[in-house]
């Protein structure tokens, strides 16, 4: 059974940095690209970033490009999102999501974690 478990979400002040993580199990992690999708409280879903199987191809949403960095460690079966210069509008539940193949393409997401809550507030 595929399991994705996010962690690292906390309350942080605007302008600060934070790294959230996603631990994967139940599938061959290095055979798949991975993505981050976020959902602000009471709002819709927003794609944040995607990475291919070996980190060689990466894509970002315009709203986070230049501030966020997605990365992965296949040996640890983990996905990361480094978030710098955080803004109030980055407050959201951050989901780790698995696409169907090895590329960074977000064709669709067939498995999701339960999310980790990042709150940006002074």
Partner 1 sequence: QSALTQPRSVSGSPGQSVTISCTGTSSDVGGSDYVSWYQQYPGKAPKLVVYDVIKRPSGVPDRFSGSKSGNTASLTISGLQAEDEADYFCCSYTGIYTVFGGGTKLTVL
- The residues binding partner 1 (CB under 8 A) are 35, 37, 43-47, 50, 59, 61-63, 95, 100, 105-110, 112-115
Q: How far is the CB of 28 from partner 1 (least distance, A)?
A: 19
Task: For partner 1, give the closer residue by CB, 62 or 75.
Answer: 62
Q: How far is the CB of 11 from partner 1 (least distance, A)?
A: 20
Classify 14 as helix, strand or coil.
Answer: coil
Task: For partner 1, give the closer residue by CB, 61 or 102.
Answer: 61
List of E strands, the chain: 3-7, 11-12, 18-25, 34-39, 45-51, 58-60, 68-73, 78-83, 92-98, 111-112, 116-120
């Amino acid at each position: 059974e595929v399991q994705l478990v996010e962690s690292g979400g906390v309350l942080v002040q605007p302008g600060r940095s934070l790294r959230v993580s996603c631990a994967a199990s139940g599938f061959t992690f290095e055979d798949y690209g991975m993505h981050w999708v976020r959902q602000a409280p009471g709002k819709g879903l927003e794609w944040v970033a995607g990475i291919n199987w070996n980190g060689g191809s990466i894509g970002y949403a315009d709203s986070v490009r230049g501030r966020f960095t997605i990365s992965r460690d296949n040996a640890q079966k983990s996905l990361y999102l480094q978030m710098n210069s955080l803004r109030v509008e980055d407050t959201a539940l951050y989901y780790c999501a698995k696409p169907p193949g090895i590329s960074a393409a977000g064709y669709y997401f067939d498995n999701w974690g339960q999310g980790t809550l990042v709150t940006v507030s002074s």
